[in-house]
Amino acid sequence: MAGGRMSALSLPIDAGASVEFKPFRARTPLFTVSAGRVLVTLTLPERVSAGDVEFARGLASQAAAYAVEVERLYRSGRRPSSGRSSGKGKAA
């Protein structure tokens, strides 16, 4: 985001957190993440562009990488460090 302002939101995830995909016949789909008292819904314009498809594919790819890492941590029995990753959201 060159030269623009950016907001940041951190959602602590626990057993009560959820995600939901809602397809619709007559409008674009919704993707929702709920954690605690916070609900984040991803929406699209009525006319979907190639950039929207690219974003959705990137979201799916990063979510899959996140799931693999969470499962790896779970299976190893290790607790993750509290520091942030230096990968800046990119999968290796």
pLDDT of res. 78: 77
pLDDT of res. 89: 47
Helix (H) or strand (E) holding 67: helix 50-76
**DSSP one-letter code for 1:** -
User: Helix, strand or coil for residue 32?
Assistant: strand
Per-residue pLDDT tens over the stretch 45-84: 999 999 999 999 999 999 999 999 999 999 999 776 655 5
Residue 16, C-beta contacts closer than 8 angstroms, at least 6 positions apart: 35, 36
Per-residue pLDDT tens over the stretch 22-43: 999 999 999 999 999 999 999 9
pLDDT of res. 80: 66
Rounded CA separation 17/38 (Å): 10
pLDDT(3) > 90:
no
Residue 55: closest CA among 44, 68, 69:
44
**pTM to 2 decimals?**
0.73
